[in-house]
Amino acid sequence: MFRKRIGGSAVLKPVPRSLSSSCGSAVFFTSPFDAADTDENTEAVYIKDGDIWREIWKR
């Protein structure tokens, strides 16, 4: 669904341990972030900066 809506590549993976200790799913995108592409299921958006995850958007 995401790929059709925003184009580009999207991969579903487990949430990185450095972001959450609970199990969950994350979608990794190669396209630039646009808040218009979020929906009620989007909790937060992060960008990886070297070894650090920076939060760039949160519901």
Q: In terms of residue numbers, what domain contains 48? A: 2-58
Phi and psi of 56, rounded to 5°?
-115, -10
Q: Is 42 left (phi over 0), alpha (psi -120 to 50) or beta?
A: beta
Q: How many domains does the chain have?
A: 1
pLDDT reported for residue 4: 56
Question: What's the whole-model pTM score?
Answer: 0.75
pLDDT reported for residue 1: 46
Instruction: Render each residue's pLDDT in the chain as its tens digit; 59 residues.
Output: 454 566 667 888 999 988 888 888 888 888 888 888 888 888 999 999 999 999 999 98
